[in-house]
Structure formats: C-alpha cells, structure tokens
C-alpha cells in the first residue's frame, strides 16, 4: 500500500522532532531489526499519547481536583472542570493540534452526549454528586467534554496515523447504524433492548474492515473491530477513574465506590461507533468518499 505524506502542523518544533526521529532511526539500524522495532513501538506510544491529549488532560484534572481542589473555593469543582475543558479545547486549536473542522464535529458530539446525559440522569442511570452553576438540569457542562474527548481522540489518531481502510462500509449505512444505536440508548428504558441486534449490525458492517495505520514509514494493519474494542476498553478504565473521583456515580456506587461492571464495555463500544461516524463525516467532506478508504 502506497503511503501519502503525514499531515503535520507546519511548526519549527515539529520539523525538528521529525529530523531527530530520522537521525535516531538511522543510528538504530546498525543494532538490528529489534532496535528498529523498539523505536517504532516508542513512536507508536508517543503518537497515541498525542492523540489522547484532550482525554488524558481531562482524566488528569479529575484526579487532581478530587485530591487537591479546595472544598471552600468560591468556584465549584465541576465549574472549574468546565472552564478548564474549554481552555484545553481553545489551546488545541491555537496550537494547531486540532483543525477547526474537527473541532466542529467534536462540538456536535458534545451536544449529542449532553442530550443523552440529560435523559440518563433523569432516568436515574447515574448522577453527579456535587453542586455547580454551569449545568443543565442535573448535568454539569463538563460532562459533555468527556464525550467530546472520544471524538477528539479519533480525529487526532486519524491524522497522526494516516488511516487507510479496506472493505470499509458505505457512509450511509454507518449513519443509519449510528442513529439506531443512539435511539436505543433512550428507548431501551421503555421498549425491549435492541443491543444484541446492534452488536450484530456492527459485526456485519465492520467485520471485514481492516484499518491501515502508519507509525513512521510503513503502514501496519489490524481489524477495525479490534481497534474499536481496544479503545472502548481504555474508555472503561477512564470511566473507573471518573467514578472513583466522584465526578459521577452509578446507583451501586452511591454509598461506596466499586469498579464499573465490565458489561459497560458494550455500551462504550456502541458509543464508539457514533463517535467514529461523526469523525468520518470530516473525511467524507475532505476526500469525497466514505472514510477515505483505499483498497489494496
């Protein structure tokens, strides 16, 4: 598969980092394939950390404010988290780590997540235990940024790893599946849960899809479904941190914290599909075809 040049922000710092990476790679060649492979693994970790920048900073803020935020502060902890999340988003745009087009999609995901939050908290699925001014009903506004961080990760990973695909489903089919998933998050409180059918739909649409990602020079590949599961697993870990820091709590955690059930992985997997489709919309506008797929 032919690789196109990676799209990096045109900054002097980035050019210096790329030059340093190339010099290190050249020197490691003398130490054999194992050294070159370890270098690529480190580069993979650095890119993943960069892609997780927004979400990682939000999780760090949850931990830091839980441990050190003054109870007597005039600004409520949840309001501070909201203002900090806005500052992070503006900083990513100012530093050109996110494009304005990507930020618009992430904002849409913020809205979609907040609407679901309003319904879910009203139904008692989870709650936010602290007071705040910047909120809608029982939902502090920082919660929408937790959903937006998923969209931010996918958008940034898409650029950093120069995603390509084979056997990718049509964009229209993905949109209908995302709509069905979103609707089921609401209707399963009143109607039979269609989650098993939605899992089957995800398997049918994405079962043959491979994602090709470039760490340095060569594209590697993995099943896209496996990528979804791995990201959903990391979200589940982050959710455990969020509930541990009392940013939100499930009914079973009101009196004492306990780990979020593994069954929540399924919900996060389905939510991943919604986020993926929204970010794919950027690729559709940019490239003129669904998900910028390229067959071998």
Domain boundaries, the chain: 12-292
Burial 194-231 (b: 16+ CB within 10 A, else e): bbeebeebbeebbeebbbbbbbbeebeeeebbebbeeb
Note whether 177 and 273 are within 8 A (CB): yes
| Predicted confidence (pLDDT) per residue in 34-49, tens digit | 555 676 778 888 889 8
pLDDT at 16: 54
| Predicted confidence (pLDDT) per residue in 144-168, tens digit | 999 889 988 998 899 889 999 999 9
Please state the pTM of the whole predicted model: 0.84
Report the alpha-carbon distance of residue 275 to residue 168 in Å, rounded.
16
pLDDT band, very low/low/confident/very high, at 287 (cuts 50, 70, 90): low
């Amino acid at each position: 598969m032919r690789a196109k040049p990676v799209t990096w922000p045109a900054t002097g710092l980035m050019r210096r980092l790329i030059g340093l990476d190339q010099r290190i790679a050249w020197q490691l060649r003398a130490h054999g394939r194992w050294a070159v492979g370890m270098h690529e693994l480190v580069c993979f970790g650095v890119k993943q950390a960069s892609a997780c920048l927004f979400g990682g900073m939000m999780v760090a803020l949850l931990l830091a404010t839980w441990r050190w935020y003054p109870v007597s502060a005039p600004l409520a902890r949840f309001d501070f988290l909201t203002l900090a999340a806005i500052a992070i988003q503006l900083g990513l745009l100012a530093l050109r780590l996110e494009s304005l087009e990507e930020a618009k999609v992430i904002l849409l995901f913020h809205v979609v997540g907040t609407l679901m939050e309003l319904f879910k908290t009203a139904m008692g699925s989870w709650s936010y235990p602290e007071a705040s001014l910047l909120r809608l009903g029982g939902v502090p506004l920082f919660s929408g940024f937790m959903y937006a961080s998923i969209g931010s990760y996918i958008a940034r990973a898409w650029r950093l790893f120069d995603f390509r695909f084979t056997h990718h489903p049509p964009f229209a089919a993905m949109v209908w599946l995302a709509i069905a998933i979103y609707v089921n998050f609401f209707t399963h409180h009143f109607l039979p849960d269609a989650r098993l059918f939605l899992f089957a739909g995800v398997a049918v649409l994405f079962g043959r899809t491979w994602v090709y990602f470039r760490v340095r020079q060569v594209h590697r590949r993995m099943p896209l479904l496996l990528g979804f599961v791995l990201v959903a697993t990391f979200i589940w870990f982050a959710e455990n941190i969020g509930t541990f820091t009392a940013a939100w709590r499930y009914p079973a955690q009101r009196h004492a914290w306990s780990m979020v059930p593994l069954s929540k992985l399924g919900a996060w997997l389905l939510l991943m599909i919604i986020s993926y489709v929204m970010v794919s919309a950027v690729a559709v506008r940019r490239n003129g075809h669904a998900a910028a797929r390229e067959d071998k």
